[in-house]
Structure 1
Amino acid sequence: MVWLDPFAKYEQGLTEPADSRTGHKADRYCWGLLKSKPETTHAICLYNILGAEVTASNLVIAYAEPAGKDDISVTTVQYPITEKEKKAVDDWVQKLLELAYGKALRGKRLKVLVNPFGGKGTAASLYQTYAAPVFAAAKCQVDVEHTTHQGHAVDVAEKLDIDAYDAVVCCSGDGLPHEVFNGLGKRPDAHKALTQVAIASLPCGSGNGLTWNSFGTGSVSIAALAIVKGLRTPLDLISISQKDSRKLSFLSQSFGIVAECDLATENIRWMGAQRFTYGFLVRLMRQTIWPCDIAVKVEIGDKAAIKEHYAAWSTRPAEEDHDSKRLEAAALSPGLPELKYGGVTDDVPQDWDVIPGETMGNFYAGNMAIMSKDTNMFPATLPDDGLMDVVTIDGRVSRGTAITMMNEIPSGRFFDMPELNLRKASAFRLTPHQKEGYISIDGERVPFEAFQAEVHQGLGTILTKSGRLYEAEGPR
C-alpha cells in the first residue's frame, strides 16, 4: 500500500516516504484513483516521485526511498489495472507527473562527464551505484563520457552540441565544472551556450562547492534526485584577467591562507576534504602573511547594508519569463561580454577603493555561499545579483582568534566577527608582492601574478532546488 498524497509538502530535499505493502488488493490505495483508503497510510512526497507509467496490466510508479542516513534508492510499486481503467489511469499519471515535477523539466537530456581521477578516485563507481539508477528511473537521456586528462572537459564543452543537451553533469569536485564553464566560454557563441546549457555537479571530489550550494548535500544519490528535479537558475560568472589570459570563474578566487590550504595540499588528496583543515592549521601556526596591493570596486561596504540587500533581493517577486529573456539577449549578443574595466595593465579606475594589503593573511572573493561541507562562509551571497563577496583578514590576528573564526563558520557567526572585513563588489584587482606563491581560481592554480576580476551578471546557468537561492541559511 502506498498513499500518494498531492497535498503533502513538496519538499526540496530528502524526505521520508514509506512503502508498506500488504499484498492485498483491498489495502492498495492511490490518491484519486482507487476509492478505498486503509486506516493507516504513508505518504510518498511528490518531490520523490521519479516516474510513472502504464504497462499492459499495471500502473508502475518509481520513487526515491531513503536508504540510510544520507542516501536514497530507486524503488517501484505496482498496482494491477484492467483494460477499462487504462484511460483514467493514463490521465491520472499525467497529473501525478505534473505535480511531482512542477516547473522542472522532465526527462532531461544529460551530458555526464566523469573524472575517474578526482578526489579519492571513486567517481566512476559512485556514479554507477548512486546516480545512474536515479537518472534511468526519471527517464533522462544520458550520454556518459570519462575524462582522460586535465583540460579534457574544456575540449568537450567547446565542441558540445548545445541543442542536444539540457545540462552537463560533472561527476567530480569543482574542477570539471570550472573546465566546462571555460570550455563554453571559448566558443564563438559563448553567451548563448552559457545561458542555454545548465551545469550541475555530483559530489565526487574534495570540495564539491557547486553541489553544496545548488543542492545542499554531499550525497551522490540525493544530488542526482536534485538534478532530476532541478530548476534552471541564472548564475553570475566572473572574468579573471591576467597578463596573457582570460578565464571564467564560477566559485571563488583566493590568495593567502585559503589558496595555500587548497593548492599546496594536492599531495594529500587521499585525505579528502580534511586536507583543507590540515593545511589551514599548519599555516596558521606559522602566522604567515602574503603582502599584496588590492583595489576594489565596492558596491556595498557595510555588513548591515549587505544583510538588507540580501533580504530585499532574495524575496523579490519571481519573473515568469526571466529565462526566455536571457536566451533572447544571448541570441542577440552571442559572444563573451566585453570587459568593462579593462585588464591588469590598465590604470586602476579612480572610483575603486584601495585596501591596505601589507599584512594580508587571507584574501577571498567569490559568488557562492558555501566553499565545501560545513563552510557556509558567506550566507549573504546570491546567485545572480551581479555582486561578489570580497573578504580580507589581517594576517596579524592571533592564533586563538583565527581558530575561533574557523570554528564559527558552521554556526553562521563568522559573518559578524569584527576581524572579517566584507565588501560586496563588482570588480577588483590584486597584485602580489612576492615572486612565488599560490593563486586559486575555483580551486585551480593560475600563474602567480597580478589578476583582475569582473562580474558578469547572470551569464551562466546552473540547476538548483529553489531556482533562486543557494542552499545556505541567510544572514540574520
Structure 2
Amino acid sequence: MFGQQNQSQNQQLAGQNVVTITKDVDAFLTLLLKSLDNHSENLINILLPQAPIVWNGTPFAGRDIFLATYQNMPRPTTHDLADFDCHALAGGVMVTASGKVKVGSERGKNLFGWSLSALIRKENGQSYQIVTCTYRYFRSEPRVQEFGFYIIRASMIEAILTPSGINVQQDPSQGLFKPTEGLLFSCFPSSLKQNSSSSPLISSDISGTGGIGFYDILWAEPSSVNIPTPSVTDPRGHYISLSYAGHISSSVVKPHTEDCLLLALSLDQWSEWPTAQSLCEYILKQAYPMGCQLSKRLMVIVNPHGGKGHAIRTYRSEGAPLFKAARCLVDVITTEYAGHARDIGREKVSQGKYDAIVCASGDGIPHEILNGMWDYEDEDGKKRSKRATELLANTAICQLPCGSGNALAKSLNGTASPSESALAIIKGYRLKSDLMVVSQKTKGSYLTFLTQTHGLIAESDLGTEHLRWMGGARFSFGVVQRLLFSKTYPCRLDVKYQASSKSEVRRHFAQYMDNIENNTTPAEKFTPRFGTVEDELPSDWTSHNLPNASMIYVSKLPWVSTENQFFPAALPHDGAMDLCYSNTMSPFHSIPIMVATETGAHLDSPGIEYAKIEAYRLTPAEEDGHGYLSMDGESYPFEPFQVEVWPRAATFLSKTGRFVDTGL
C-alpha cells in the first residue's frame, strides 16, 4: 500500500512543473503562517494526524498533542516570510523556509528569526498537509524578558529537562520557547561566576542552545540550600543539587555543582516526581542508562614515572575530582617499583571487589595488570586456573591516559584527554575483548592486549626510551630516523589466516558490525589450540620468508598511539588479530605511508599487507639478542615467539560499549 502511495505521489509530481509546485508551496506557507499567528482551528487540516513535530527543540508525537500545547503558547504572533526553498521528492515536497516573527503587540520588542523544515504532500489530490515538521525561533534582537506565565530575571539561567539532557540558556532572550512539558530549571547567581558567560553550564550544545546533556550529568540529590523562589504563577518544584561535567575547552572537563530549583510545568507531569528524591532518581536513570553503572567501585593505579612523569598531578587534577563528583568509590595505589602493577593484579584484585581497574599511566600498566590477574592463585595455589579466568573476564580495565602512547584510551573512548577519559570511565559500558597469548622459550606464556611488533616499529619505540621527555613525539622521531637508513629486519612469518586479503578483511569487518550484538560467547580457561613456539608448526599454516621486512605489526586495538590508527579494521571480540607487514617498503614510499597511519588510510597503500589471523609464529633471521621485540610497548627477549587469540578473555570500559569508529 505504501509503495502504491509513493508511486501515485511520483506520478502527481511528475505532471507538475517547478513553477506550479513553487506557487503551491508559497500559498501553503502563507496559509500555515497565518494559521499559526491566529491559533486557527485550520491547523487541524494542515497537519496529518500522526505527523511528528519538533517545536523549539521539544518533540511532539502527533498533531493533537502538539495543538493542545500550541494553544497555550504566547500570542499574538506575526510571522513574515523572507524566503523558502522546495524540492519534489518521492514522498512529497521538502520545504525549508525562514523569516522574522514578532511576539506580542509592543512595538520594537520581542522580534525573532524563525526557521522551518517540513515534508508536505497532497492526500488524494487535496491541499498540501504536513507529514513531519521542525520549527525553531532564534535570536533576532536582544529584547525578550517575559515568557508566557514565567517572568525570568536576567541573573538566572533557564533550562528544560528534555529527552537529551538539560537545555540551558544564559539569557532568556537567546531563544523563545514556552515549555509545557518537562521541567523548568533555574540556577541562581550565588552559585555562578561573576561573568556568567564563562560558566561551563552553557558550554555544551544541545539543539542549538547551550546545555547539559545527560552524558555530562554526574550526580543529582536533594538540596538543603535555601534558594529564593522565582516569581511564578504556580511555584511547584523541588530543590536539588546537580553535579555535572562542564566543558572548559575542547579537551578539558571539570566537575561543577549547582543548587537549583526545578519547577513543574503541569500537574500531570509533576505527579511522576512527588518528591525531590524521586526527581533525582529519574535524572540519574537518564544520566546512567541501562548497562552504565552508577557509583562505580574503582581501583586507580598511578604510575608516577609514566610519560613525562606527571601522572600523579594529572590524576589529582583531572581524574580524582570527576570521580568524587560522580560518587565513585575509589582506592588509589601508586606503583613503587618495576613490575609492581603485576603484583597488584595478582594479589590485590579479588573477585567482585572492583568494577574497574583504572590505569593512570601509559599502556604498560594495563599489560602488567592483565598478566598479574592471570597469575592469580586460587585456594589450592594454582595459577591460571578457572578462578583467574573469571577474574580477567569480570574485572574491567580502563585507562586514564598519562603516558606516551595511550592507545587503550584512544581506542575505547576516542580521546587522550585525561579528564574526558575520566568522564568516559564514569559513564563507560563493559566491553568484552579478545586477548592474545604469547609463547616464548625463555619467558613462557604471557598476555598482550595491544600489540606485538618486530622491526621498524619496535626499534622506534624501544630504541627511543632515552627520549621519553619528548612524549608521544619520540616514536615519530624514531621512525623517521630509521627510515632514512633503509634498515631491514629479515625474518620468517608463519600464519594461520582468517582473512588473508584486504578485500576479505573488509567483508569480515562488515559482517561483524552487522552481527555485533550476537557475539555473546563467554570466555573459557585458556587451552592452546596450536601448541607453543617450541612445537611443530601446524600443516595448514602459511609460511612467508621476508628477507627485506621493514616491520611486522600485530594488534587487537585500532589505535596504537594517540596519533596512529594503524589497525582500522581491529575489532574487540571477532576471534582474530590484525596483521600488518611490509617486505618491500622503501624510504621514498614509507614516510607517506607512516603519515597515512594517522587516519588508517595506509590500509590501501601498495607494499602494505593487511590480514585477519588466528595465530602466527615469528622467527627473527638473526637471534643474537641485539634486536628489539615489543609486546604492548614493553621489551621482551629477541627470540622466536608464537601468538594466538584467546576469545573474549578480558573486559574493558568503553564510552559506547564498542571501539571508536575508525571510518572503515
1:406 positional shift: 1.0
Separation in structure 2 between the aligned mates of residue 400 and residue 265 of structure 1, nearest angstrom: 23
Question: Which amino acid in structure 1 is aligned with residue 479 of structure 2?
Answer: F
Aligned positions of 1:108-123 closer than 5 A: 108-123=296-311
Separation in structure 2 between the aligned mates of residue 246 and residue 126 of structure 1, nearest angstrom: 34
1:3 positional shift: 2.3
Deviations along 1:89-112, whole A, 9 cap, x unmatched? 222211111111112001000000
Q: Does 1:77 align with 2:258?
A: yes
Question: Which amino acid in structure 1 is aligned with residue 162 of structure 2?
Answer: P
Separation in structure 1 between the aligned mates of residue 368 and residue 568 of structure 2, nearest angstrom: 26
SS of residue paired to 2:210: coil
Size of the aligned set, in residue pairs, is 450
* Among candidates 113, 130, 133, match of residue 321 of structure 2: 133
Aligned positions of 1:296-375 closer than 5 A: 296-316=495-515, 318-319=517-518, 322=520, 326=522, 336-375=525-564
Question: Which amino acid in structure 2 is aligned with residue 438 of structure 1?
Answer: Y
Distance 1:126 1:360, change over 3 A: same
Instruction: Indicate if the aligned counterparts of 2:359 and 2:366 stay in contact, CA closer than 8 A.
Output: yes
Distance 1:271 1:31, change over 3 A: farther
Q: Which residue of 2 aligns with 1:454?
A: 644
**Deviant stretches of 4+, over 6 Å:** 27-31
- Structure 2 gaps of 5+ residues are 1-156, 188-207, 226-238, 264-269, 377-384
Question: Which amino acid in structure 2 is aligned with residue 437 of structure 1?
Answer: G
Distance 1:317 1:429, change over 3 A: closer
Ranked by relative contact order (alpha carbons within 8 Å, sequence separation 6 or more), the top structure is: 1
SS of residue paired to 1:42: strand
Q: Which residue of 2 aligns with 1:99?
A: 286
Q: Which residue of 2 aligns with 1:62?
A: 243
SS of residue paired to 2:503: helix
Q: Which residue of 2 aligns with 1:13?
A: none
- Structure 1 gaps of 5+ residues are 11-16
Deviations along 1:129-157, whole A, 9 cap, x unmatched? 01111101110000001001111011111
Question: Which amino acid in structure 2 is aligned with residue 20 of structure 1?
Answer: Q
Q: Which residue of 2 aligns with 1:203?
A: 401
SS of residue paired to 2:478: helix
Question: Which amino acid in structure 2 is aligned with residue 236 of structure 1?
Answer: D
Distance 1:274 1:33, change over 3 A: same
Could you tell me the TM-score, scaled by structure 1's length? 0.89
Please provide the CA RMSD for this pair.
2.5
Separation in structure 1 between the aligned mates of residue 575 and residue 465 of structure 2, nearest angstrom: 32
1:411 positional shift: 3.5
1:33 positional shift: 3.6
Question: Which amino acid in structure 1 is aligned with residue 545 of structure 2?
Answer: P
Distance 1:319 1:309, change over 3 A: closer
Separation in structure 1 between the aligned mates of residue 184 and residue 448 of structure 2, nearest angstrom: 53
SS of residue paired to 1:98: helix
Instruction: Indicate if the aligned counterparts of 2:169 and 2:209 stay in contact, CA closer than 8 A.
Output: no
Instruction: Indicate if the aligned counterparts of 2:492 and 2:544 stay in contact, CA closer than 8 A.
Output: yes
Separation in structure 2 between the aligned mates of residue 31 and residue 157 of structure 1, nearest angstrom: 50
Distance 1:31 1:190, change over 3 A: farther
1:75 positional shift: 1.3
- Which range moves more in the overlay, 305-314 or 259-268? 305-314
Q: Which residue of 1 aligns with 2:365?
A: 176
Question: Which amino acid in structure 1 is aligned with residue 423 of structure 2?
Answer: L
Q: Which residue of 1 aligns with 2:482?
A: 283
Question: Which amino acid in structure 2 is aligned with residue 404 of structure 1?
Answer: P
Q: Does 1:52 align with 2:220?
A: yes
Instruction: Indicate if the aligned counterparts of 2:496 and 2:616 stay in contact, CA closer than 8 A.
Output: yes
Instruction: Indicate if the aligned counterparts of 1:50 and 1:137 stay in contact, CA closer than 8 A.
Output: yes
Q: Which residue of 2 aligns with 1:398?
A: 586
- Greater per-residue strand proportion: 2
Deviations along 1:350-377, whole A, 9 cap, x unmatched? 1001012211110000111101122111
Instruction: Indicate if the aligned counterparts of 2:428 and 2:655 stay in contact, CA closer than 8 A.
Output: yes
Q: Does 1:227 align with 2:417?
A: no
Instruction: Indicate if the aligned counterparts of 2:160 and 2:168 stay in contact, CA closer than 8 A.
Output: no
1:279 positional shift: 0.5
SS of residue paired to 1:163: coil
Aligned positions of 1:21-36 closer than 5 A: 32-34=182-184
Instruction: Indicate if the aligned counterparts of 1:29 and 1:35 stay in contact, CA closer than 8 A.
Output: no
SS of residue paired to 2:546: coil
Distance 1:28 1:276, change over 3 A: farther
Q: Does 1:463 align with 2:653?
A: yes
Deviations along 1:384-421, whole A, 9 cap, x unmatched? 10101111112x42212001101212233211112110
